[in-house]
Amino acid sequence: MNIGEIRNVNDRLTGSIATRTIDLPRIGLRKVESMNPKAPVYEVLALNVARRWVQIGALWEAASKKTGEIFLAGNIDDPSLPEPLPVAMFPVEDGGYTIAWRRETVRGDFGGGFGANTRSYDERPQTGGFGDSTAGPAGELVGAGGDVDDEVPFG
């Protein structure tokens, strides 16, 4: 779901983000100058109520596993937000970006699973899940720590 845009105007990357509960009418991207290969590519800045630019996020370069397309991924975060807002930014022809809300691949509410890929965009292993299986090779119950009475009907 697209939630904003960044445009390149006079070599300045500025734009906005808006969702049902978040309205950032003026944001900007500032290039990060670093020799560290793990450093972000951009800092995300926003105007605060005093009209000063403050950092509210960072973006790293990422690549689509399916197409190899290069995009930016990171989080928008601020103490005023209930939780970080994961975003992905995709390049457009004018040198700017379309901003999309990005759901983590692994659904944390359920501990992962349901056929989802268990790696995030940056390939860090995810923790959690439902644990080891209690089914043996023939479908029998193993490792459950007790006897199961198969005679008890479901009711």
- Lookup result for tokens 């056929």: 115
DSSP symbols for 89-149: EEE-TTS-EEEEE---SS-GGGTS-TT--SB-TT-PBP--SS-S--B-TTS-B-SSSS---
Q: What is the pLDDT of residues 46-59, one digit of tens each?
A: 999 999 999 999 99
All structural domains of the chain with their residue ranges: 2-101
Is 122 a residue whose pLDDT tops 70? no
Is 118 a residue whose pLDDT tops 50? no
Q: What is the pLDDT of residues 9-57, one digit of tens each?
A: 898 999 999 998 889 999 999 999 999 999 999 999 999 999 999 999 9
Residue 14 CB coordination number (10 Å): 16
* pLDDT recorded at residue 152: 46
Q: How far is CA 78 from CA 24, 48, 57, 75, in A?
A: 12, 11, 8, 10
The pTM assigned to this predicted structure is 0.65
Six-digit token pair at 43? 């800092």
- Lookup result for tokens 């459950």: 144
* pLDDT recorded at residue 102: 78
The rounded percent of the chain whose pLDDT value lies above 70 is 66
* pLDDT recorded at residue 105: 57
- Lookup result for tokens 């939780």: 83
